[in-house]
Structures are given as C-alpha cells and as structure tokens.
Amino acid sequence: MLLKAQVQILARQEALELLGVASTEPFSREAEVALKRLDQGLMDGLPWFHEERVRRGADPQRLLSGAKSILSFAVSYYVATSSPGQDGQPLGRVARYAWGMDYHQVLKGRLKVLIEKLSACLGRVIRYKVYVDDGPMLDRAVAYRAGVGWYGKNTNILTRRLGSWVFLAQVLTDLELEPDTPLRKSCGRCRACIPACPTGAIVAPYVVDNRRCISYHTIENRGVIPREIRPLMGDWVFGCDLCQEICPVNRRVAHTKEPAFQPREGFTTLGLFDILALTEEDFQGRFRGSPIRRATRVGLQRNACIALGNISDTAAVPALARALREGAALVRGHAAWALGLIGGAAAQAALEEALQKEHDPWVQEEATLALASASEMVQLGPALARK
C-alpha cells in the first residue's frame, strides 16, 4: 500500500489526474467482444485493427513478459468553446481533443518522468511499457478494470469527475501493486447519445459501427466518403463530439488546467477556404504538433469540401471551383459533390468546364451527378423565387 501511495503522489505531481491499478490477467471477455465486432464488419476501414492485434493487446504478458500491474490514467482535456475568428469565411468544426497540442507526446513524456522518479525512489530500474492510444493494449478495458471509469453507451469511458472528456494512458509494469475494483456504475436507462449521432453510428447500446462514424470518416478514412454519409456530417472537418456533448455525465465537469490542452488560436474551428488553399508545406507547418496532422492535407481538404456543401453558401463556389480544377482527385470529386449541392449558374459552369477536362472516372461520375443536381436547381430557381 505504501508503494501505491507513492505512485499516486508522483502521478499528481505530473498532473495525471485519475489513476487506477488493474491486474495483468488476460482481457478474455473484452477480446471476444472486439473479435465479434471485427467479424461483423463494424471495424472495416481500420486495417491496423485486426485479429492478431486484438489477441496480443488482450494479453498483457505478451506485451511485457513478467508484468504484474497496469497503471491506468485518465487526463482531462475539456475546455469551453472559444470564439472563432476566421475573417468571416465559413468554418469547419474540430473535435475538442485536437484544440491543443498532440496528447500522445505530452502524456508519454509525463509517464516516463513518473517512472524515472519511481525508479529513483525504489533504487532499481523498473521494467515498463507506455501506451497512449497508440498500441495494441485495450485501453478502455484497462480503464474499466482499474476503476477509472465505466463504459458509456457510445463506447467511451465515462469518469465521475472528468466525464468522458479524457485521454486514456497506461503503464504496463513489473511493479506489484494492489489492483483496484471496477466502479459499480452504468448509464442506466439513459440513451441520449444514440439519437444524437446524425449518421446512426451507435447501432445499439455499447456498439458503434465504425463505417458510419463521423470521426472515422474525417480522420482515418483515406478514400471516398459514401454519398449517403456526406449530408449527415454537417460542418465537422476533424472528429466529432456530438455523442459527448449530449451526455449528462459531462454537464458539470471542470475545465482542464493543463497548458498543453488549452485551445490554440485557429484550431477550435478551421477556415474552410484556407484549408482548400493549403499546400503540403503549409499543412505540415501549420499543424505541426497537432493531432489534426493525422487527417492528412488531402483528407482535410476533402472534409472541407463536404462541410462547404452542407453549409451551402454560394460564396464557396469560387474556392470549390478552384479545388475542382487543381486539387487531388479525392478532393476534386468531393468538390464536385459540394458544387452540385450548392447549385446555381456559377456552380453549373464550373462543373461543365471540369467535365471537359477530367480524366479520372470516379471524379467524372461525381461531376456528372453534381451537374444534374446543379442544373435542376438552376431550372427551379425562378419558380422558387416566385414562391
């Protein structure tokens, strides 16, 4: 118990807010659930999430031979919405966790310092492995077993004091510590998060279909976003917070005091015209040290096209027309879709010009469908005006 108290003191010194200890028994039940989701196709689109990864992550001894305990941490990133200021251009929304610095390096650094201090206290080198949302370890399963939080119906871990606005991290170690017990809490009858998801990604309590998740499509998806999903994405360009914003557990959580996770200017929302104009050099420079880099420049520009289509402001037509002429094929096709949604004579002209020069079959298909939509809107214009 004395050793565990030392760990708790050192964790507080490193601003690691919630700490629980889990045993290193295999996570057999959680592995079965994850493998079932794989078999059902609910994890399609994530090539790195495969059977061997699940089995390895569910067995702590395969990750660190001789491991005796898992330290489970939760650190808040919650901050209030800040006022955007992007010169009046249309804005795309960014998930809260990406408003500050990249949490991977911030938390890994803190955890390594904690272990170094603990090693000094014990007078021996501690064997350990650190995971911050970047390895095979089943982080939510660890957090649940360690009593850090409980599963929400949106599959997030919910905590008593910090809600679900938390980063999870783990240290697998050869330290022998008394494990904590899971919390006796649940969401009860609350289902608020399920209808809050516009794409219907939460297909049942505690079950998310990755193929319909806005966060997946704006970050992990490297290809075409399905046409039926695009209108449901609204103005999200990186991640999505809707199922967290509606959660009652998050109503009265305190704001994080961590400087690294405070909102940075120009990161809480993104100017969509600016995004479409980014060069690769611009992208790498602007988003250095930010989780937003994971979306890639082309992916972010694709997302911006969808957001502009959903906003449907005719002021976006020149920027979209330029993207249709000069962007990567993935961007051109989604720009065409957006122009078809906005409609009008200028959008129609841009699409007609593109079809005369375009050689990519998928972009041609998108532009043809978009042109039909834009042309129809031009024809309906006078009738709508009379109404």
Per-residue pLDDT of the chain (387 residues; tens, 9 = 90+): 568 889 999 999 999 999 999 999 999 999 999 999 999 999 999 999 999 999 999 999 999 999 999 999 999 999 987 655 556 899 999 999 999 999 999 999 999 999 999 999 999 999 999 999 989 999 999 999 999 999 999 999 999 999 999 999 999 999 999 999 999 999 999 999 999 999 999 999 999 999 999 999 999 999 999 999 999 999 999 999 999 999 999 998 989 999 999 999 999 999 999 999 999 999 999 999 999 999 999 999 999 999 999 999 999 999 999 999 999 999 999 999 999 999 999 999 999 999 999 999 999 999 999 999 887 766 655 444 444
The answer to the question of residue 240 being in a domain is no
The answer to the question of residue 338 being in a domain is no
First-residue to last-residue Cα distance in the chain? 76
The answer to the question of residue 305 being in a domain is no
The answer to the question of residue 53 being in a domain is yes
Q: What is the pLDDT at residue 14? A: 93
What token pair was written down for 257?
A: 């005091």
The answer to the question of residue 64 being in a domain is yes
The answer to the question of residue 373 being in a domain is no
Which residue of the set 44, 133, 174, 360 is catalytic?
A: 133
Token pair 């809107």: residue: 377
What token pair was written down for 7?
A: 């760990």
The answer to the question of residue 33 being in a domain is yes
Domain hosting 139: range is 2-78+99-173
Whether 235 is catalytic: no
Burial environment of residue 328 by CB neighbours within 10 A (0 to 12, 13 to 18, 19 or more): middle
Q: What is the pTM of this model?
A: 0.94
Q: What is the pLDDT at residue 376? A: 72
Q: What is the pLDDT at residue 385? A: 41
Q: What is the pLDDT at residue 378? A: 62
Please tell me the total count of domains within the chain: 1
The answer to the question of residue 72 being in a domain is yes
Helices (H), 154-279: 193-196, 214-215, 242-245, 272-276
